[in-house]
Structure 1
């Protein structure tokens, strides 16, 4: 086992699931994060409950929700290495007397000690229809780092090879990087869909599942090959699955045992990226 995973296991105790590259814990993220060793994770990528009444949520007031997020994000900051990063995926929430679908980043972007590099928009294509507004087709990722002057970022690992004029030159030199172009801050990846005729190949029983391709890009770009990845709201386990595929170690925390069982099943069967 990786020495950093061994240190985490010593601090947190026996996990729900253990492998040479993975530790999964069953319990409340806020409580477990309090005991995580400081400055040990190269990257945290996660999507907490949106506080909109999903089956896995206990709905709070807006003030309570923001305070809860501020607390657990503070613990994530404490556990992040000096050159490490934190990617936060959040959607929309109704704010009483203020708005129907307020982007949660508006409420959370400055509620942690992290430095925000930028917002990335995930355009996912399919979704619910709306009669009194435009149909929602995106969510946000907020990309944070611990040190604004010194953070890991490997653009070459995630360049888009789909270049219109790859051999175009200026003054005898290629105008485009031979590995491809920068993917930009708008990402177009299909959502993990359900339904008898349109269900995604990677679909599990979890109601809000990350696509493998999205997490793959984040892990490649923002963590070194020997990095340790954290997802404190593991859900169906996509972060742990992709971390293993990409040669990283990972630690996941999940409150619901049935979701942890989905994650373990995916890890054990070795699900592959379809994108």
Structure 2
């Protein structure tokens, strides 16, 4: 298999993701960070692209009767190959935004709602009839109008049913989300990143993505209630005053034959432990809501990953000199950020136009433009 682009850090293949992934060796990448084309939100003018399926989900992952043609079935099929090429300690970071069953899309424009961008449809102008044929009747056969499709969770649960370990849903909160002309619900300002793993024990660098604490954040306490009426471990008696009659609780410590096999009490009130947990801390474990500004790329790719969104995924999920996979490269942000942090990357892109865009981008420093 010949690469469309290759350097010391990045290897890019042009073609269908499923076809390319099948040619990659088993357990050859450390983590996968990607965002597949969203269902029914954009035509990328490429034969074989995802997102144009008539049915979003046949529910075969729940019923066992898979159609093999709906969007979720196609996604699961691709990530079966991702599962194969991922190391046993690898992780998948999957970004996906939801959409709604709605009236025909805006004439002349295709709105990928959850990427907060509205751009002209490439290649040709979309007529009202074409929009109605694509979004209106097709979607109404599946769900009632105005329904939120729930595609991100459908995909996550389908992958879980296929053998992935679904570890967490991370919320990408977007401060600059595109306003929506809706009057009967809140404007959407978030997407999902799902963290999935192959094994219960997997590579995860917690320290690499710690977030700063604000103010005088304290560590956890030492477990001692200084206002308690009785000493720690005191078991009040049944008669007289509680303060006088009683005993220390049975700790399981004994003497004589076999006493060393009895459970020992957990003692955490020691000087080193108390000092460690009571000191002021300047960082904490990263929370599951990530506030990340949208970014624009001068070359006008309409669905650009924010670099700050990808950074923690790569830093936590891939060691230095490891390999990051992105089977839906788009403008190549995953490979760009991986290179900036001394990780290698393998990417797949269906559209030949974007391959040229990625080649140009890989020669530029990873300095995002926030909007």
TM > 0.5 fold call:
yes
Counterparts in 2 of 1:167 and 1:14: CA distance versus 1, 3 Å: same
Q: Provide the alpha-carbon RMSD of the alignment.
A: 2.2
Alignment partner of 1:141 is 2:186:
no
**Residues 231-253 of structure 1: CA distance to partner in whole angstroms, max 9, x if unpaired?**
00000101000100111100010
Alignment partner of 1:43 is 2:31:
yes
**Which of the residues 290, 300, 304 maps onto 1:187?**
290
Aligned residue number for residue 2 of structure 2: 14
- Distance in structure 1 (CA, Å) of the matches to 2:3 and 2:348: 9
Counterparts in 2 of 1:250 and 1:272: CA distance versus 1, 3 Å: same
1:18-37 mapped onto 2 (5 Å cutoff): 18-37=6-25
Unaligned residue ranges in structure 1 (runs of 5+): 1-12, 193-199
Aligned residue number for residue 99 of structure 2: 93
Q: As a proportion of its length, which structure holds more strand?
A: 1
- Distance in structure 1 (CA, Å) of the matches to 2:143 and 2:157: 23
Please report how far the alpha carbon of residue 178 of structure 1 lies from its aligned counterpart in structure 2 after TM superposition: 4.7
Please report how far the alpha carbon of residue 190 of structure 1 lies from its aligned counterpart in structure 2 after TM superposition: 0.6
**Which of the residues 92, 98, 103 maps onto 2:150?**
103
- Distance in structure 1 (CA, Å) of the matches to 2:280 and 2:349: 40
- Distance in structure 2 (CA, Å) of the matches to 1:176 and 1:30: 51
Please report how far the alpha carbon of residue 88 of structure 1 lies from its aligned counterpart in structure 2 after TM superposition: 0.8
Alignment partner of 1:67 is 2:73:
yes
Unaligned residue ranges in structure 2 (runs of 5+): 58-69, 102-141, 222-273
Please report how far the alpha carbon of residue 265 of structure 1 lies from its aligned counterpart in structure 2 after TM superposition: 1.3
Query: Structure 2 length normalisation: TM-score?
Result: 0.64
Please report how far the alpha carbon of residue 16 of structure 1 lies from its aligned counterpart in structure 2 after TM superposition: 0.8
Counterparts in 2 of 1:274 and 1:178: CA distance versus 1, 3 Å: farther
Greater Rg by CA: 2
Aligned residue number for residue 125 of structure 1: 175
Aligned residues: 254
Please report how far the alpha carbon of residue 262 of structure 1 lies from its aligned counterpart in structure 2 after TM superposition: 1.7
Please report how far the alpha carbon of residue 129 of structure 1 lies from its aligned counterpart in structure 2 after TM superposition: 1.7
